[in-house]
Amino acid sequence: MADILPFHRKRTPDSEGEPEPLWREALGRNLRAAREEQGGRLVDIAERAGISPQYLSEIERGRKEPSSEMIAAVTGALGVELADLLADIAGVIRRSHGTGPAVGRRPSGPVLMAA
């Protein structure tokens, strides 16, 4: 039987011992911030999204890795553009690495062009 290996999250030089955020944690924090900014209650947003309040709470706390369909349902219930949410999450993760925004940044690998 295979052994389960522990997953060690990278630490960044400027994080003072804090590991870099997982994608699901950044997603959860952004969804919660959007809900709270609107003054929405967890139970109301969950109902509009068609999920249980418990599941939405676990997403917001970074405990669950929701499917793309669930993310779309929650962002739809919040009235948040998915592209904006993803850009915000990318910014959070970039800042944890000590890098700035991707605007003007050139890809490091080969660029594939559509025909």
Domain annotation for the chain: domains and CATH numbers: 23-96 (1.10.260.40)
Q: Are 82 and 71 a contacting pair, CB within 8 Å?
A: yes
**Model pLDDT, residue 37:** 96
Give me the residues paired with residue 11 across strands: 19
Task: Report the amino acid identity of residue 33.
Answer: A
pTM, full prediction: 0.70
The structure tokens 């959007």 sit at 34
3-state secondary structure of 77: helix
The answer to whether the beta carbons of residues 20 and 9 sit under 8 Å apart is yes
Q: Which residues pair with 19 in a beta bridge?
A: 11
pLDDT tens track, the chain, 115 positions: 555 545 445 544 454 556 778 899 999 999 999 999 999 999 999 999 999 999 999 999 999 999 999 999 999 999 999 999 999 999 888 887 765 555 444 444 444 444 4
